[in-house]
Amino acid sequence: MVDDSRIRVLTLNCWQVLFLCATCCSLLFRGLKYVSKNLDERIEAIAHELANSNYDIIALQEIWVFAHYERIQQRVVKRLPYSKFFYSGALGAGLAIFTRYPIISSSIHPYSLNGTPLDVIAGDWFVGKAAASIVVLHPVLGQIQVFNTHLFAKGGEDGPEYKRAHRLVNAWEFAKLVRQAAEGGRFVVALGDFNSIPPTLPMTVIFQHANLKDSWTVTHPGVNAASITSPLEAVQRLGITADSPLNSWSASKGHARGTWGKRLDYVLYRQPNRPGQTVPNLKAIDSKVVFTDTVPRRSFSPSDHFGLETTFEVTSTSQDETSQIPPLATSASELSNATISTVIQALTECYRFSRERSRKELIIFGLCLLVLVGVIIGTVWLPHAWINPIFIFFTVFMAWLATTMLYEGFIFGHWECNALMNVIEELEIHRKGMDILNGRRDSNDSRSVSL
């Protein structure tokens, strides 16, 4: 018998390596299953494990090949009859959601910044990293908007924040979508690979602006990281999902004692914003890292990430305390001035870097044109016929370089700068708007005191 007072969810990055070549992207994409290490066996192991599980919602990342989505769908369809594979960008979003509850709507929001066209090895620009979501109908909670996302990876956690500017843009856009969903009266469950450890700026933006709760910290409060003495304990108590020495794909990576990997995968949630209404309560009661064993009879892990599982408890007719607060009094879920200033500073630095890079690329474009003109003129005085093929090859190369620099420097350069400026101005307007609302609130408070 199905228990509607419990919701079990899973997020897992399936690790399908996407290796790109600028001249044959589509061919390599079709051959993806031959590029990723042991991909077919790993997908089969993941599908088998999911088929024998009792999850209510599953969110997968890096599931680029539609045939692999279909394989998993066929395995889990009896338990999870509803699913959605999301399309975005040139090569797909790599996102899929499977659920036990009927889907009543779906959407996808491609992030405005996802790396550069020249970074063909990483391939982020060619794929459509995005915030995908479905709205499902739960028997007790009503409408739940389930998000699945995979944020931009490059930049790490060290060094200046401007190196993570694209991820900050992703985080801001994701937080806005979650906030809009909650303000529309829906419960929110957000899953995915956020490529950020908890204290970093992107996660701070998401937690503060979207007012999301982290299921791991809710179910594992007060854990002292300094007391962790083994990789297994780090997985069990800190929720480590990536770069763990217990994972065969990251076992060779150096890890400092006391870190044991990274927590990059999250299950986040929040109540709806329904002022004056009594709504059911959604609370995380258990979270654990899963998919930690190797593929049966093999020595490698199913993915380079472990999965994260959370069990929610649903209690009906529980007064939602936050819903009784007037809309103006929502300071607890707002970005702090310090966070906004830090984000704006990082994006501004990235804006300047982008302008300077674009200027250099356009200079290269101009030089390429001059060289091409010189080559064309020089062909008149070629002393030997055998030099012709060399000149042709060199001309083709210079034409390709000129075209690439024009696209990267002018089209993408303006694209990136405009996207950064949009977010900078949105944050500035948001900060000014909150000052106005806080001033009005203070004025109303002073009036009530005088009365």
Characterize the bridge pairing of strands 187-193 and 213-214.
unpaired
What are the tokens at 445?
A: 């408070």
Sheet holding 95-99, edge to edge: 82-85, 95-99, 57-61, 6-13, 307-315, 281-290
Output the furthest CA–CA distance in the chain (Å, rounded): 99
Burial class (CB in 10 A: 0-12, 13-18, 19+), 176: middle
Q: Is residue 123 within 8 Å of residue 164, measured between CB atoms?
A: no
DSSP run (H or E) holding 193: strand 187-193
List CB contacts of 296: < 8 A, sequence separation 6 or more.
45
Q: Is 305 a catalytic residue?
A: yes
What is the full DSSP assignment across 6-62? EEEEEEEE--------TT-HHHHHHTHHHHSTTHHHHHHHHHHHHHTS--SEEEEES
Instruction: Give the integer Cα–Cα distance in Å for 222 and 237.
Output: 10
48, 305, 414, 430: the catalytic one is: 305
Instruction: Give the integer Cα–Cα distance in Å for 26 and 16.
Output: 15
What are the tokens at 152?
A: 């931009």
Query: CA 261, 262, 264 angle in degrees (round to 5)?
Result: 150
The DSSP symbol for 410 reads I
Instruction: Give the integer Cα–Cα distance in Å for 111 and 16.
Output: 20
At what angle are helices 201-210 and 165-183 packed, to 10 degrees? 10
What are the tokens at 272?
A: 């709806």
Q: Which residues are catalytic?
A: 305
